Structures are given as structure tokens and as C-alpha cells.
Structure 1
Amino acid sequence: MGRSPCCDGINIGLKKGPWTPEEDKKLIDYIERNGHHGSWKSLPKLAGLIRCGKSCRLRWNNYLRPDIKRGKFSEDEERIIINLHSALGNK
């Protein structure tokens, strides 16, 4: 008896699986025009997407946000991570 998925049941017909470049563009364009400070639940319909709000939120936060740093850590970043891990452990 665990948590039920956010998109199952009520939202029959929602698209699942990999995002297309067109869907990414719709989400990016909508957020650039309107921001994302409102309800993620209502965003897909307003942006013209057939996805659930949670899927849009995760896509934006994990892949599309312009401030996401990609690539390797710098030496300074590695040193900070190692020092913090030594001080805090696996929390």
C-alpha cells in the first residue's frame, strides 16, 4: 500500500514516456513568457501539453532550467564537496 502515481486514474490520455523536442519547446516558451511561480498542476493545459503537472515540473527542474550546471566539477568544487562530506558524512 504505497503512494499512487500522480498521473494515473483521473488523467487518462496523458502522454507518458520520452519528451519530444516540440514538447520541450512548448514548456520552455510558456515558462519564459509566464514564469513558473503558479500551479504546476494547471501549467500543462495552459502550455498546450498533454502531460501531468508533476511531469512538467520534473522536466523543467531536472533538464530544461537554464541555470543547471552541466559538465565536470572544477577542482574547487571537488574540494568543497570532499570537505563537506568529511564534516557532515552521508546525510
Structure 2
Amino acid sequence: MTNAIVLINVESRQLQNVAQSLVDIDEVSEVYSVGGRFDLVAVIRARTNEAISDIVTDQFPQIDGIRNTETLIAFKVISKHDLERMFSIGAE
């Protein structure tokens, strides 16, 4: 699994519509509204870097209201939660 964090600036009054459109994308696991330089943070969990590229360069630009994005590719996950184990329940 490849993870990316996408920092997003949104046009005024489009925050809720953009957030809902983002979370409707299967590989977008969470969308946070945040304070600071960016308006939204989207977490993408996809199988490959190419899949993340397709989402960010093909699907995100189709969403009205996104002004710009900055994508951070995660190299390693350090977490209190064992996400791989949680998602593999019943896979055996």
C-alpha cells in the first residue's frame, strides 16, 4: 500500500463541496478541514505510486473549487495503530 497526503487550497465557499467530492474517490480514506496555509488535507491510500499520480493529476483537477495542491508521498508509516492488520481481518 502506498500512502500520500495532499494539501489543498480551495476557492471561497467551496470547502464542503470539494471535501465531499474528494471523499467520494475510493482511494481517498480521509479528508480533514484544517487551519493554516491550506484548507483541506486528503489522505490517499492506493496500491501504487502510479495510482496516486492518476488520482492527483487526473481526478483532482476535475473537482470544481480546487485552486492548488501539494502532494507528499509517505515513505514509511509510524503509527500506534496496526493498519495492515486491521484491514486484513478475514483475509486469511
Q: Which of the five TM-score ranges fits, normalised by the shorter chain?
A: under 0.3
Q: Which protein is richer in helix relative to its size?
A: 1
Q: Which protein is richer in strand relative to its size?
A: 2
TM-score by length of 1: 0.28
State which structure, 1 or 2, has the greater radius of gyration over its C-alpha atoms.
1
TM-score by length of 2: 0.27
